[in-house]
Chain A
Amino acid sequence: MKEIEILIIGGGPAGLCAASAAANLGATVLVLERDGEPGGQLVKQTHKFFGSKKQYAGDRGYQIGNLLIEECKKNPNIEVWTDTTALGVYEDGVVTAERQGKHLKIEPKKIIVATGASEKMIAFPNNDLPGIYGAGAVQTLMNVHGIVPGQRVLMIGAGNIGLIVSYQLMQAGVEIAAIIEASPTIGGYLVHASKIRRAGVPILTSHTIVEAYGQESVEGAIICRLDENWQQIPGTEQDLNVDVICLAVGLSPLTELCFQADCQLKYIAELSGHVPIRNEYLETTRTDLYVAGDVSGVEEASSAMVEGRLAGISAAYSLGYGAGVAPQLQAEALAELSELRSGPAGQKTVKGIMKLMDKGEAVC
């Protein structure tokens, strides 16, 4: 049995920031990372981040990931176990994990779940054909392994991920046949959209995919226009010759561990799915269990990092560390989160969190 003050499940941007924040206040921290390296999905983010200097604005995602990993490595209070998958949280607080076929037990005083999110799928005929990828998978192949997924891509979704990954595909020499978006407006930042349009790639709003086709893998896709009630307009179909269909249609919080740990969860559309109910300092309805990052509502890596810091400070403070400084640090993190959520996309998150905190409604 491994004893530790704070156990962090997930070594992505939220988890690593939580680790640093808690360790800086004096707590001992163990981070579990199922992948071979910590850093989460930052490793494949080649675009420059927005926000303020404190959230590493101007740096590319993978560079930020490297900075966070270095910070954790330098801190003697932090231990990171890679290739380790958390399996369950038991009633007595013991957490089990698997590493290289071995079953491990850990007894933490506090747990921070920072498991992130997984990509959403949408329904259309033949959506299971090889050649249909989540946008994150395309980024992994392309930006981590240096392999392009195909020759010609249909991108579904014109939010920031759809726009950024399209641009990255173009940088890697892949042709984008079109970016389609079901809603009447482009969801992502116009600075990204303009770069793509200037390169001659059409961004078709009020468009959807009718079907994919192909024998053993994608050979093409039929798209069409949608009316104001989001219904397909017959006669507007276009046949696109593509060998890749990339889905950038959002993410779902990876809340399995929270469900299993008996945290109360609630469905909040604005936060992209079922999310654990938590207080301002990110502690869930299960005492001593905190959440941070996409698992507590899908946002961007910038806010995941600040949430991680907030959860790390709060968990350490509750163990008696940082008396005198912790409240100030918590207030600063909360102020940064408000700042990050002040834009139109952030307002949706704020609305979702308000719904989540309203204890009057039914929970599941």
Chain B
Amino acid sequence: MRITEHPILEFLRGEEITFFFNGQELKGYEGETIAASLHAAGIRVLGHSHTMNRPRGLFCAIGNCSSCLMVVDGEPNVRICVEKLKAGMRVETQQGKGHLK
């Protein structure tokens, strides 16, 4: 959920753009991270662990922990907590360790 009013901060968001999460069309803002756009859309499960198939979400949000790896425009293992959203991006949950093209 997005904050609209804040006692200290003003959020200057970029242009509203469209992207795709597992084929589903979603809106986000240019300049924010993919993780931020997904969270704003209420999507917290970003993938599942390799062997136990347990749900995975954000933990650190600054590119340290690798809990948020997804496939972005066909490239696996993208840390979506630091990768910026772009118009038309295709974000997909990753199965296993991913395959490099």
Give, as a whole number of angstroms, the nearest-CB distance from A175 to chain B.
13
Is A130 within 8 A of B46, CB to CB? yes
Q: Is B58 an interface residue (CB 8 A)?
A: yes
Interface residue SS majority, chain A: loop
Question: Which size bracket describes the interface of B in this complex?
Answer: 20 to 34
Contact call A137/B60, Cβ cutoff below 8 A = yes
* Most chain B CB atoms below 10 A, which of A128, A143, A171, A173: A128
Residue A54 at the B interface, CB < 8 A? Answer: no
**Closest Cβ–Cβ distance, residue B6 to chain A (whole Å):** 6
In the bound complex, do residue B55 and residue A217 qualify as a contact, i.e. CB atoms below 8 Å apart?
Answer: yes
| From A118, A121, A146, contact of B9 by CB (8 A) | A146
Q: For B59, give its contact among A34, A35, A137, A172 (CB under 8 Å).
A: A137
**Contact in complex: B6, A172 (CB < 8 Å):** yes
User: Which residues of A are found within 8 Å of B17, using beta-carbon distances?
Assistant: none
In the complex, what residues of A have CB within 8 A of residue B62's CB? 35, 41, 136-137, 140
Q: What's the count of A-B pairs with C-beta under 8 Å? A: 93
Which residues B52-80 have CB closer than 8 A to chain A? 54-65
Q: Which residues of A contact B82 (CB under 8 A)?
A: 35
For chain A, which range describes its interface: under 10, 10 to 19, 20 to 34, or 35 or more residues? Answer: 20 to 34
Q: Which of B1, B9, B13, B62 has the most CB of A within 10 A?
A: B62
Measured CB to CB, the residues of B under 8 A from A are 1-3, 6-9, 11, 13, 32-33, 35-36, 39-40, 44-46, 49, 54-65, 81-82, 84
CB<8 Å pairs between A and B, sample of 9: A36-B84, A41-B62, A129-B55, A130-B57, A131-B44, A133-B61, A147-B36, A172-B6, A217-B44
Residues of A bordering B, CB below 8 Å: 34-36, 41, 46, 60, 118-119, 121, 128-134, 136-137, 140-143, 145-149, 171-173, 216-217, 254
